[in-house]
Structure 1
Amino acid sequence: MKSRIMYIEAKSNGLTGPARIGRVRVSKTGATLYYAGKTFSSLKGSGFKSNYFDVETGEHYWISGPRKDGRDALYPTHIRPTIDDDVRDEYWSKIRRTTVRHW
């Protein structure tokens, strides 16, 4: 199973929610994602401002690859995501392509 750094934003309480950047394991088809003990299944285009849901709780999430410019959220927000310690260096050097951490 492949893994990659991804942006994970909770959408159950509205258009923007708490977000993280972390290492996600991806199923072969990409329809199922695994992160922090949770299993996410694709909404296959039927979600409202979300693309995956937590199979245990039913909560909706926006999960995507992080962008070089840091604009990862589906909608502009002033809330910065938490970056997991195990991906912090890789995120800043390989995704954002900088050694300067802006936050």
Structure 2
Amino acid sequence: MRRVMFVQLKTGFDTDLGPSWIGWVDFNRSWNTARFHGRELRRTPGLWTGNFADVETGETYWISGPKRDRTDTRYGPATTTVDEDAVEPYEAFLGGAPLPGRENG
């Protein structure tokens, strides 16, 4: 399943201050593995459902659906990078359209 998602790097940054992106994330059928920017991320058991860890580096990431009011980060950064190939569906989403793959909820 391929979806436009909010992704934030957590490792090496104070609470929710890591860099963040809006981009395409490919999930496996069980939603336990995600691929983003060439990284394989696996869901971290026992933590919040949005926590994933890079299988090679161990870095942790938060992955969630983007918010229309752009309040995806709690404390920062002030700007979230929108990947070039996600700009069009993300802007349509901000205008009220459903995200691709989420037309039915």
Could you state the TM-score of these two structures normalised by the residue count of structure 1?
Answer: 0.82
Equivalent residues of 2:2, 2:27 under 8 A apart: yes
Structure 1 vs Structure 2: percent identity of aligned residues?
A: 32
Distance 1:46 1:24 in 2: 20
Could you state the TM-score of these two structures normalised by the residue count of structure 2?
Answer: 0.81
Distance 1:77 1:37 in 2: 24
Distance 1:83 1:31 in 2: 24
Equivalent residues of 2:19, 2:77 under 8 A apart: no
**Shift >4 Å, 4+ stretches:** none
Distance 1:92 1:55 in 2: 31
Give the structure 2 partner of residue 58 of structure 1.
58
Give the structure 1 partner of residue 71 of structure 2.
71
Give the structure 2 partner of residue 26 of structure 1.
27
Compute the displacement of 1:11 (Å).
0.4
Pick closer, same or farther for the CA change 1:28–1:51 going to 2, 3 Å: same
Distance 1:65 1:22 in 2: 10
Structure 2 alignment gaps of length 5 or more: 97-105
Give the structure 2 partner of residue 87 of structure 1.
86
- Deviations, residues 57-87 of structure 1 (Å, cap 9, x unaligned): 00011111101111112x2324211000111
Cα RMSD of the aligned pairs, angstroms, is: 1.6
For the residue of structure 2 that corresponds to 1:92, the secondary structure is helix
Structure 1 alignment gaps of length 5 or more: 99-103
